Amino acid sequence: MCQVVEAYHDDLEQEEFPRVSKKCVKCKDLIAVVAIRAGDQYCRDCFEQYFHHKFRAILGKNRVIFPGEKVLLAVSGGASSSSMLRQVQEGLSQNAHKKLRFMPGIVYVDEGGALNQSVEERQQTVEKMKEIFIGAGFPFYIVPLEKVFDLPGSVVVMAPSSPPQPESSYKASVDHFIRNNSSSCLTPEQKHETSPYVQECQTQLLQQLFDSSKTLTAKEELLSMLRQHLLVHTARCEGYSKLMFGDNCTRLAVKLLTNISLGRGAQLAQDVSFSDSRYGDIISVRPMRDYSAKEIAYYNHIFNVLSVFTPNLHTKNKEKASIQRLTESFVNKLQVDFPSTVSTIYRTSEKLQTTSKSSTSANPCDRCLLCMCSLDTTLENASAFQSTLISECLSQAKSVGANSASFPRQNTELRSPSSQCCSEGKGQYCDRIVKDGGCCSGIRVPDTTDIRGLLCYSCQLTIKDMSSTDCLPQYVLLEAQKRQRRSRMREEITKLYRSWSDAHEMVAGVR
């Protein structure tokens, strides 16, 4: 039993842990406040210089943005995009060591309609974002996601791009910019535009579109594509030639594994690279791809970078709700025990290249209708993709045969949408009784646009999870019909040319 006056003569053993140096690894004088990795401790000033230098170094190394160009920053309110906005502000300030030389603008896509948010919640989020944008001093555009139903068909058509310029032209452009002392031209016009009032019917159409998707994985992919279309259209309308995204290293590592799971292996080089030119005139850049989520969180906390929390489709969902959510959880948990997980995946993505035809040189009919990448479905008959299609067709035929066997009395003839009606080819329905009863008008299949042949393998999986493609925006369906008509016309011209060639050879043989 313990006594108050009991004396302990033996000293208590205290376990000693290895302690890292508390000095900054760069200046060697001040106390470190940030430990990014083991052996990488920085003080406040050195960490700020390190963070700014990395952002400007990746822009200078790739040399994609020329002096005087208009760049549209896609800011969602999250930590990474908000940090990107702060880096642009610091790079354009008067006391910057190496100033940035482009003209920035900001765009924010309000996705509250797809998340079933109320009008009041959406307005509160928009007001918070407007405060941040006004403080930044750049022109900004707030666009609701419902505007995808008003987009033209040119969004899914690659616009002609300027030919790639040599490295000497970039240096000449920079020298010309410095000689003319054109810092005054980088002051953008204070243009603040918000979208007009969103009609309730458009919000209902958007919700109907996402409700038609059966899985959360398909909803997330569909939302990403529609958002990308809206950003590209906004950049084109406002005269911007570059789109800047805030994808960090951690997010790109998750995206890499997710895309492999979704069958986007042929598009990995474009989805995770620094620059993406699949739209031709609008080039997407990712200058935050060298930063980890941990570095960005430290920077935003130390230097009070404002951000706005906006819920997404994965908010309050379980870990296994979608492939994207499960992959993110897997990478984050693995990163805790193995700190080099994210960097290893990210460095692997830098070495990826595609052997297929590049998106910049692909024919418009050979490009995916949604993601705008080159089609990966035009392969040999012995490919794995063709085997998958054969297995799918056989399984569907077997299920149809089983259904017909279980219902032997329903032996009616189903007519395809392209088949001629029994009313003398005039497209009218009649009351002629077909075999085993019924009228042909009652069993006629509705005419729908089949767009699966115009999509890549991954987008086909996304559309396959939808109950109906009629909910898609009109610009997608109209472009699909346009491409199908061109394809049929091309086939007819090819057949006519072959028949003419055969007849010409026959006549020449007779002579």
pLDDT digits (tens, 9 = 90+) for 70-127: 999 999 999 999 999 999 999 988 777 778 889 999 999 999 999 999 999 999 999 9
Radius of gyration (Cα) for the chain, nearest Å? 29
pLDDT at 398: 63
Compute the distance between CA of residue 63 and CA of residue 55 in angstroms, rounded to an integer.
13
Whether the per-residue pLDDT at 507 is higher than 70: the answer is yes
- Give the other-Cβ count within 10 Å of 169's Cβ: 12
DSSP state of 143: E
Could you tell me which residues are beta bridge partners of residue 42?
34
Whether the per-residue pLDDT at 19 is higher than 80: the answer is no
Q: Are 86 and 93 a contacting pair, CB within 8 Å?
A: no
Q: Are 328 and 254 a contacting pair, CB within 8 Å?
A: yes
pLDDT at 351: 83
Q: Any residues with CB less than 8 A from the CB of 58 and at least 6 apart, and which?
A: 274, 287, 289, 290
Compute the distance between CA of residue 445 and CA of residue 305 in angstroms, rounded to an integer.
57
Could you tell me which residues are beta bridge partners of residue 243?
72, 284
Q: Token pair for residue 137? A: 């001093």
Q: Token pair for residue 420? A: 């001629």
Q: Any residues with CB less than 8 A from the CB of 337 and at least 6 apart, and which?
A: none
- Residue among 17, 473, 443, 438 at smallest CA distance from 206: 473
pLDDT at 217: 95
- Residue among 121, 106, 268, 115 at smallest CA distance from 194: 106
Q: Phi/psi of residue 471, each to 5°?
A: -80, -10
DSSP state of 213: B
pLDDT at 315: 87
Q: Are 445 and 255 a contacting pair, CB within 8 Å?
A: no
Q: Is the pTM of this model over 0.85?
A: no
> Distance between terminal CA atoms of the chain?
124
The residue with tokens 């452009």 is 173
Compute the distance between CA of residue 376 and CA of residue 357 in angstroms, rounded to an integer.
9
Helix H or strand E segment including 70: strand 70-74
Whether the per-residue pLDDT at 413 is higher than 70: the answer is no
Could you tell me which residues are beta bridge partners of residue 245?
none
pLDDT at 100: 87
The C-alpha torsion from 401 through 405 and 407 to 410, rounded to 10°, is 70
Whether the per-residue pLDDT at 1 is higher than 60: the answer is no
Q: Are 355 and 265 a contacting pair, CB within 8 Å?
A: no
> Domains of the chain: which residue ranges?
63-366
Write out 463-508 in H/E/C secondary structure: HHCECCHHHCCHHHHHHHHHHHHHHHHHHHHHHHHHHHHHHHHHHH
pLDDT in tens, 137-157: 999 999 999 999 999 988 998
Helix H or strand E segment including 275: strand 275-276
pLDDT in tens, 328-349: 999 999 998 898 899 899 888 8
pLDDT in tens, 48-83: 999 999 999 999 888 889 888 999 999 999 999 999
Compute the distance between CA of residue 383 and CA of residue 454 in angstroms, rounded to an integer.
18
Whether the per-residue pLDDT at 433 is higher than 80: the answer is no
Whether the per-residue pLDDT at 11 is higher than 90: the answer is no
Compute the distance between CA of residue 123 and CA of residue 93 in angstroms, rounded to an integer.
31
Helix H or strand E segment including 244: strand 242-244
Could you tell me which residues are beta bridge partners of residue 104?
71
Count of helix runs (H) and strand runs (E) in the chain: 14, 9
Pairing of strands 103-110, 70-74: parallel
Helix H or strand E segment including 255: helix 249-261
pLDDT in tens, 184-232: 455 556 666 666 568 889 999 999 999 999 999 999 999 999 999 999 9
The residue with tokens 């024919």 is 363
Sign of CA dihedral 374, 380, 386, 387: negative
CATH fourth-level superfamily of 63-366: HUPs (3.40.50.620)
Burial class (CB in 10 A: 0-12, 13-18, 19+), 491: exposed
pLDDT at 169: 75
3-state helix, strand, coil in the chain (%, to 5): 50, 10, 45
In whole numbers, what is the pLDDT of the chain averaged over residues?
81
Compute the distance between CA of residue 385 and CA of residue 263 in angstroms, rounded to an integer.
10
Of 180-184, 217-221, 391-395, which has the strongest mean pLDDT?
217-221
SS3 (DSSP) at 168: helix
Could you tell me which residues are beta bridge partners of residue 276?
284
pLDDT in tens, 237-283: 999 999 999 999 999 999 999 999 999 988 888 899 999 989 988 99
What is the pLDDT confidence band of residue 177, given thresholds at 50, 70 and 90? confident
Q: Phi/psi of residue 482, each to 5°?
A: -65, -45
Question: Among residues of the chain, what percentage have pLDDT more than 70?
Answer: 76
DSSP state of 229: H
The residue with tokens 């940030």 is 34
Q: Are 84 and 287 a contacting pair, CB within 8 Å?
A: yes
Compute the distance between CA of residue 452 and CA of residue 99 in angstroms, rounded to an integer.
47
- Collect contacts of 423-429 with beta carbons under 8 A, ≥24 apart: none
Of 191-205, 352-366, 458-472, which has the strongest mean pLDDT?
458-472
The stretch 283-306 carries a mean pLDDT of 94
SS3 (DSSP) at 355: coil
